Amino acid sequence: MLDVEAALAAAHAKVGNISQEDARIISEKASTDFVKLDRVWEIEKSTNHDIMAMVKALTEQCGPSGDFVHLGATSNDIVDTVMAMQFKNALAIIEDDLILLQNAILDLAEKHRDTVMVGRTHGQFAVPLTFGMKMAVYAREIQRHIERLREARPRICVGKMSGAVGTGAALGKHASELQIEIMAKLGLGIEEASLQLVGRDRYVEFVSLLANISSSLEKFAVEIRNLQRSEIGEVAEAFDAEKQVGSSTMAHKRNPIKCENVCSLSKIVRGFIIPTHENVPLWHERDLTNSAAERFIIPHVSILVDDMLVKMSRVFAGLVVYPEKMLANIEASRGLIMAESVMMALVGKGIGRQEAHEMMRKLSLKAADAGAHLRNQMLADEAISQIFTPDEIDAIMDPKSYVGQAAAIVENTLKDLR
């Protein structure tokens, strides 16, 4: 707030509304070296107005030059411009966090480019992919968030200095010039047309961006939690076997606590979406129904998303991957995950796609009902055995041969994002 007051005084001096000396004194005293928070609180007890308390505390320090403190401004010229400065700082931190997380994910994508695992849809075995490709998908998602943040920054980091209802009347004939000068000094964009407030659609965009990021983080965390389930066991959060305790009673437990924490916090972040939208419709040029809500919403979503991003970066950086368990789970499918591979091979032999699908549907159901391996069911099937040799069946049934462009997707992602 003091920085904004100093910029306001400097701009007034530049256009000739006040003297350079008065502006110098105001700028010098607009510091917590002189304006103490305890004094501001003391004044606020009597004024019951936080901004006026700050203005009075600064005025006390400026002597006669104090007559020009807050000249032509309304409270929300200060509040909303300060909020834009905080948005700017917060977005810089969030962007750094996103890049940190993306790098941790890219390291896994590179390391596990060819680590084959079973894909799952509807919670059931699907077809093979690689763990590296899964990580490449996550890295691309983070990149989109980085791009959204950079695109949104100039719309979000916008301040105003245009008075009580946005006309700039109290700022005089140089009102537009003053606003341009102040925001340039503070490194902010300008609200070209406002009432008393910066448009709250900008706040909606900020909170929505962070809520979107939180949803991705929960998505990643849910996947790790599922893959860490005892019956799957393909990955796990790092666990300090020397000191860490998983349960107060079950001594064997190694729980995905960071991922669970992220899933819990993401619900809180998204919960702020509705009140942020409800802060947009205000009475006439403004009322105060947005103010208290924003004092909770903006700090909480910013701090929580920062915390969640750092946690997930640590999770991915320390993630333990078990390729041998991935292969074991592939084997547990008894070849059923290769039914599509066989179907496509049948098409390659001249069988119609629909006929090939029906053949494999029946064989797969028969193998599943019998608890038999699909390969053995195929070898025993007269029609299939006339089309493929046993060696051809083995090749078609190899999961490593049916991951399509997975490796190329990882390589392209690394090339684009590193």
Q: How far apart are CA 44 and CA 140, in angstroms?
A: 49
| Cα distances (Å, whole numbers) of residue 63 to 57, 124, 380 | 11, 75, 99
**Same-domain check for residues 285 and 355:** no
**Same-domain check for residues 89 and 163:** yes
Write the pLDDT tens digit of every residue in 245-291: 776 677 776 888 999 999 999 999 999 999 999 999 999 999 999 99
Q: Is 274 exposed, middle or buried (0-12, 13-18, 19+ CB in 10 A)?
A: exposed
Three-class secondary structure of residue 187 per DSSP:
coil
- Up-side HSE of residue 33: CA atoms within 13 Å toward CB? 8
How confident is the prediction for the chain on average, in pLDDT? Answer: 96
Question: What is the reported pLDDT for 248?
Answer: 63
**Same-domain check for residues 150 and 288:** yes
Average pLDDT over residues 187-213: 97
Strands (DSSP E) along 78-227, which ranges?
Answer: 116-121, 124-130, 158-159, 189-190
Q: How far apart are CA 333 and CA 348, in angstroms?
A: 24
Write the pLDDT tens digit of every residue in 134-175: 999 999 999 999 999 999 999 999 999 999 999 999 999 999
**Same-domain check for residues 82 and 160:** yes
Query: Tokens 């059923």, residue?
Result: 336
Query: Tokens 């390391």, residue?
Result: 111
Residue 403 placed within a domain = no
Residue 387 placed within a domain = yes
Nearest to 222 by CA among 267, 161, 185, 192: 267
**Same-domain check for residues 312 and 183:** yes
Question: What is the reported pLDDT for 239?
Answer: 72
Question: Judging by DSSP bridges, how do beta strands 320-321 and 235-236 pair with one another?
Answer: antiparallel
Whether 122 is catalytic: yes
**Same-domain check for residues 131 and 12:** no
| Cα pseudo-dihedral 208, 211, 215, 221, rounded to 10 | 160
Q: How far apart are CA 171 and CA 184, in angstroms?
A: 17
Write the pLDDT tens digit of every residue in 68-91: 999 999 999 999 999 999 999 999
Q: What angle do CA 258, 259, 260 make, to 5 degrees?
A: 90
Please, what's the b/e burial string for 296-311 (b: 16 or more CB within 10 A of its CB; e: otherwise)?
A: ebbebbbebbbebbeb
Ordered DSSP codes for 318-346: T-EE-HHHHHHHHHHTTTGGGHHHHHHHH
For 132, the token pair is 């590296």
For 57, the token pair is 């505390």
Question: What is the reported pLDDT for 241?
Answer: 64
Name the percent of the chain lying above pLDDT 90.
95
Residue 411 placed within a domain = no
Write the pLDDT tens digit of every residue in 331-389: 999 999 999 999 999 999 999 999 999 999 999 999 999 999 999 999 999 999 999 99
**Same-domain check for residues 264 and 245:** yes
**Same-domain check for residues 263 and 351:** no
Q: How far apart are CA 190 and CA 410, in angstroms?
A: 41
pLDDT tier, 244 (very low <50, low <70, confident <90, very high otherwise): confident
Residue 303 placed within a domain = yes
Give one word for 139, left, alpha or beta, with left for phi > 0 and alpha for psi -120 to 50. alpha
Q: Structural domain tally of the chain?
A: 3
**Same-domain check for residues 161 and 294:** yes
Question: Is 149 within 8 Å of 209 (Cβ atoms)?
Answer: yes
Q: How far apart are CA 360 and CA 344, in angstroms?
A: 10
pLDDT tier, 243 (very low <50, low <70, confident <90, very high otherwise): confident
Name the percent of the chain lying above pLDDT 70.
98
Average pLDDT over residues 199-213: 98
Helix (H) and strand (E) counts for the chain?
Answer: 18, 6
Average pLDDT over residues 37-61: 97
Q: Is 165 exposed, middle or buried (0-12, 13-18, 19+ CB in 10 A)?
A: middle
Which strand (E) or helix (H) includes residue 392?
helix 390-396
DSSP 399: G
State the helix-helix crossing angle for 257-271 and 201-227, rounded to 10 degrees.
160
Residue 405 placed within a domain = no
Which CATH number characterizes residue 106's domain? Answer: 1.20.200.10
Question: Is 346 within 8 Å of 356 (Cβ atoms)?
Answer: yes
Please tell me which residue in 122, 230, 248, 284 is annotated as part of the active site: 122
Please tell me which residue in 19, 31, 247, 385 is annotated as part of the active site: 247
Residue 406 placed within a domain = no
Which CATH number characterizes residue 33's domain? Answer: 1.10.275.10
Whether 31 is catalytic: no
Write the pLDDT tens digit of every residue in 400-411: 999 999 999 999
Question: Judging by DSSP bridges, how do beta strands 124-130 and 320-321 pair with one another?
Answer: unpaired
Residue 67 placed within a domain = yes
Write the pLDDT tens digit of every residue in 324-333: 999 999 999 9
Three-class secondary structure of residue 92 per DSSP:
helix
Three-class secondary structure of residue 28 per DSSP:
helix
For residue 226, give the amino acid letter: N
Which CATH number characterizes residue 357's domain? Answer: 1.10.40.30
**Same-domain check for residues 378 and 286:** no
Question: What is the reported pLDDT for 219?
Answer: 98
**Same-domain check for residues 10 and 127:** no
Residue 413 placed within a domain = no
Q: How far apart are CA 26 and CA 43, in angstroms?
A: 19
**Same-domain check for residues 42 and 145:** no
Task: Note down the domain range covering 369.
Answer: 336-396
